[in-house]
A and B are shown apart, each in its own frame.
Chain A
Amino acid sequence: MGDLWSGLTQAFWLVVTLDKELVEISWRSLRITLSALVLASAIAMPLAAFLAVRRFRARRAFIAVMNALMGLPPVVVGLVVYVLLSRSGPFGVLGLLFTPTAMIIAQIIIIVPLIASIAHQSLRDLWQEYHDLLISMNVTQWQKMKTLLWDARRALLTAALAGFGRAIGEVGAIMIVGGNIDHATRVLTTAIALETGKGNFALALSLGFVLIALAVAVNLAIHWLGRTEREGRW
Chain B
Amino acid sequence: MIRKFLITPLFAILAMSSMAQAQDVMKLAVTTSFHNSGLSDVLLPEIRKDLDLEVQLLVVGTGQALKLGQEGDVDAILVHSRKAEEAFVADGFGTHRREIMYNDFVVIGPGEDPAGIAGAADAGDALARIATQQSRFVSRGDDSGTHKKERALWQAAGVDPDAAGAWYNAVGAGMGAALNTASGMNAYILSDRASWLNFGNKGDLALLYSGDPVLLNQYAYLPVNPELHPHAKSDLAVALEDWLTSERAAALINEYKINGETLFTFNAQ
Contact = CB atoms under 8 A, between A and B. Distances in A.
A223 B130 CA distance: 59
Interface in B152-194: 173-177, 179-180, 183
- A: interface residue count bin: 35 or more
Report whether over half of chain A's contact residues are helix, strand or loop; otherwise say mixed: helix
Contact of A34 (B10, B54, B71): B10
B269 interface: no
Interface string B16-50: 11100000000100001000100000000000000
A198 B17 contact: no
B58 A181 contact: yes
A229 B1 contact: yes
Q: Which of A182, A184, A199 has the most CB of B within 10 A?
A: A199
A181 B36 CA distance: 14
Nearest to B201: A199
Contacts of A92: 72
B41 to A, nearest CB: 9
Q: How large is the interface on B (under 10, 10 to 19, 20 to 34, 35 or more residues)?
A: 35 or more
Contact of B176 (A181, A182, A198, A225): A198
B7 interface: yes
Interface in A62-93: 86-88, 92
Given A88-B72, A181-B56, A197-B180, A35 B174 contact: no
A87 B14 contact: no
A32 B14 CA distance: 8
Contacts of B57: 181-182
B70 to A, nearest CB: 8
Contacts, number: 88
B151 interface: no
A180 B32 CA distance: 12
A27 to B, nearest CB: 10
B241 interface: no
B262 interface: no
B6 interface: yes
B14 A35 contact: yes
Interface string B199-228: 111100000000000000000000000000
B88 to A, nearest CB: 15
A30 B16 CA distance: 12
A100 B199 contact: no
24 contacts: A31-B16, A38-B10, A38-B11, A38-B14, A87-B73, A87-B231, A98-B56, A98-B73, A101-B18, A104-B17, A153-B2, A181-B27, A181-B58, A183-B56, A197-B176, A197-B177, A198-B36, A198-B199, A199-B180, A199-B200, A201-B200, A228-B1, A228-B2, A229-B2
Given A181-B57, A194-B59, 17 more contacts: A31-B16, A31-B17, A32-B17, A35-B13, A95-B231, A98-B27, A101-B17, A104-B17, A180-B59, A181-B27, A181-B58, A183-B54, A196-B177, A197-B174, A198-B199, A200-B201, A228-B1
